[in-house]
Structure 1
Amino acid sequence: MTSHYASLWRLSVVLVLALLTAGSARACVLCEALGCASCAVAASDGPGYVLQGGQWPQPGGDGSPVTITYSYNNFLDGGLRDPDGVSVPADFLRSVTEEAFGLWAAVAPLHFVEVADVGTQVFTTNSFAYRDYPDDSFGQIRMNHRFINGTDAQNGMPAAKAIAYFPSNGRHIGGDIHFDNGDPWAIVGTPSEPDVLGIMTHEIGHTLGLGHSDLPESTMFPAAPRRSGLGTGMLHPADIAGVRAIYGAGVGSVTPLLAVPEPSTWLIAAIAIGCLSACRRGG
């Protein structure tokens, strides 16, 4: 990775999309930074969390398993670039996304399963064209990138970094996540150079039915906490209480389409192949 990824931990602005109708939505930005009276943090449903935007079907009730599919539309095509202008590697984006899903799956019975994505334009409304796609065309949670508003410097103020749609936004846009490809995406995040892990964890929270928290330490705080690369993701107790208020307590899983063996697995396999080869030569 490039040398500019220094160790930092900061907060920034995240844009969150809230449903008004099936075909249109209202964008919400950080009120404290932009003076947006219409997008204040809603009254808490519990200590530090807000339930907003519905939930994914859970026929068995709280605590029963919930399977939620996810897919990558154009998210891995190199359109997200780091502060040096280099495309963020697809394998890194996959790993970060899986870690973010894993944080939520570790505290609630949510089973995230990757599925193939047919690839479409990035839809910003629940249009007829979008709804015409069969349900198996992509995941319920879908990762995208597009230009939203660019950098903080271009805007002259803290700018939105990503958008998420609640489950209640309906078929198919409910669950979609959009990252701003006009922003530089770092491994170690700063206010103006966000990291994928911190923002992804926050946006997934919205796709599960969580609104903004009033606790600055919470993942669901309007200014999503920045993280420092793989292995640094975390949830605040308020985030955990919030997702459990929706789905109950439990443990889920993350199942990617491309299972990458751990380094130790590769080593064991290499040793086994070497031994087999030596045995054949010896025989």
Structure 2
Amino acid sequence: MAPKVSYTCSSMFFVLLSLSSLCISHAHLSQNSEDKRPSPLGFLTKLIDTTHKGHKAGGLSELKKYLANLGYIDHTNPRIQTHLNNDVFDDTLETAVRKYQEFYNLKITGRLDQETVKQLQEPRCGFPDFHPNANLTSFAHNWTGALYTYLGTAWPPGKRYLTFSYPKSFRSDAELPMALAFGRWMTVSPFKFGYRSDFGSADVKVSFERRDHGDGYPFDGPYGVVAHSFRPTDGRLHFDADERWTPYVAKESFDLQTVGLHELGHILGLGHTPDPKASMYAYFRPGESRDLNEDDIRGIQSLYPN
């Protein structure tokens, strides 16, 4: 159940400082763990190096829809929609695979090679890598070294205090990791955060959900899409309740603070980055801890310069 007292900006900051050593010690013990649970995209394994343009194979329509959800295929285009339901490795799929490989710095082959399939099967955030209104700084401004991206919307000027809330069913052990995540963004941005007991009226609404939960983006069960959130000023942040979550870094589970920090980046207006060391990198490993890095900080401060 949600706490009766409000989290203040200063209290979150001091909690962050006092517990940072604890989080680091857990990360040191567990960061190299790997979870062997099957991915919802496990069917791709049998297609490695055997399927390419012109081939037909079971599951390719599912892969097309998955890549469309991540922004690599324009599913709003009527001409392309007709190809999403067939299992043909067509030009649309080859283009999407190449675009995916480029974004994640993989060898650009346009094929389902081993490296690409392995990346596709990793657990990740469900927010699209490519958004229609996104400002892809990683491609437009490589000369600056910037890899961060924008989502095309931001919180309006003057709106720098955001309230957050949880439903009554929220896991109590998730409250501290989320407070740490809020506090971390507070240290590098102009935003302040405060708890509100009324879930419906909060700016940021954090909850655990399962499968089809009514927002148009159903979760896919364990070890697939582990969480997602929405761009400003929607404010919804959802963890997949079917995943293994812990309030600290532990083997074979996902760290609530690490994933929460990432999803709050979307809430504030940042997109995904191809930098695997950044908080805004889309993929997560069980037992992994990530903090904001220089690129994340440059991104949020560029989006909100004051």
What's the TM-score, normalizing by structure 2? 0.51
Q: CA deviation at 1:29?
A: 8.7
SS at match of 2:207: strand
Matching residue of 1:82: none
Mark the CA change 1:210 to 1:8 in structure 2 (over 3 Å): closer, same or farther.
Answer: same
Q: CA deviation at 1:7?
A: 2.2
Residue 9 (structure 1) aligned with residue 31 (structure 2) = yes
Mark the CA change 1:138 to 1:224 in structure 2 (over 3 Å): closer, same or farther.
Answer: farther
Matching residue of 1:171: none
Residue 108 (structure 1) aligned with residue 189 (structure 2) = yes
Gaps of 5+ in 1: 14-25, 60-64, 79-89, 119-136, 153-158, 169-173, 250-283
Q: CA deviation at 1:138?
A: 2.6
The CA distance in 1 between the partners of 2:157 and 2:303, in whole Å, is: 10
Residue 28 (structure 1) aligned with residue 70 (structure 2) = yes
SS at match of 2:239: strand
Q: CA deviation at 1:75?
A: 5.6
Identity percentage of aligned residues: 24
Gaps of 5+ in 2: 1-25, 40-67, 73-99, 101-115, 122-126, 211-218
1:151 to 218, 222, 225: 222
Mark the CA change 1:105 to 1:71 in structure 2 (over 3 Å): closer, same or farther.
Answer: same
Deviations 1:251-277 (A, max 9, x none): xxxxxxxxxxxxxxxxxxxxxxxxxxx
Specify the code of the residue in structure 2 equivalent to 1:57.
P
- Listed as ranges, the matches of 1:1-283 within 5 Å are 7-9=29-31, 27-28=69-70, 33-34=119-120, 39-40=128-129, 43-44=136-137, 47-59=146-158, 66-74=160-168, 76=170, 78=171, 90=172, 92-118=173-199, 137-147=200-210, 148-152=219-223, 159-168=224-233, 174-186=234-246, 187-189=248-250, 193-224=253-284, 234-248=291-305
Say if 1:198 and 1:227, in contact at 8 Å, map to a contact too: no
Q: CA deviation at 1:150?
A: 1.8
Mark the CA change 1:75 to 1:28 in structure 2 (over 3 Å): closer, same or farther.
Answer: farther
Q: CA deviation at 1:28?
A: 2.9
Counting matched residue pairs gives 181
Deviations 1:156-186 (A, max 9, x none): xxx1100101115xxxxx1100100111113
Identify the structure with bigger relative contact order (alpha carbons < 8 Å, sequence gap 6+): 1
Say if 2:161 and 2:191, in contact at 8 Å, map to a contact too: yes
The CA distance in 2 between the partners of 1:40 and 1:103, in whole Å, is: 23
SS at match of 1:161: strand
Q: CA deviation at 1:247?
A: 1.2
Specify the code of the residue in structure 2 equivalent to 1:236.
N
RMSD value, Cα: 3.4
Say if 2:277 and 2:290, in contact at 8 Å, map to a contact too: no
Specify the code of the residue in structure 1 equivalent to 2:175.
R
Say if 1:29 and 1:160, in contact at 8 Å, map to a contact too: no
Mark the CA change 1:235 to 1:161 in structure 2 (over 3 Å): closer, same or farther.
Answer: same
SS at match of 1:145: strand
Mark the CA change 1:98 to 1:139 in structure 2 (over 3 Å): closer, same or farther.
Answer: same
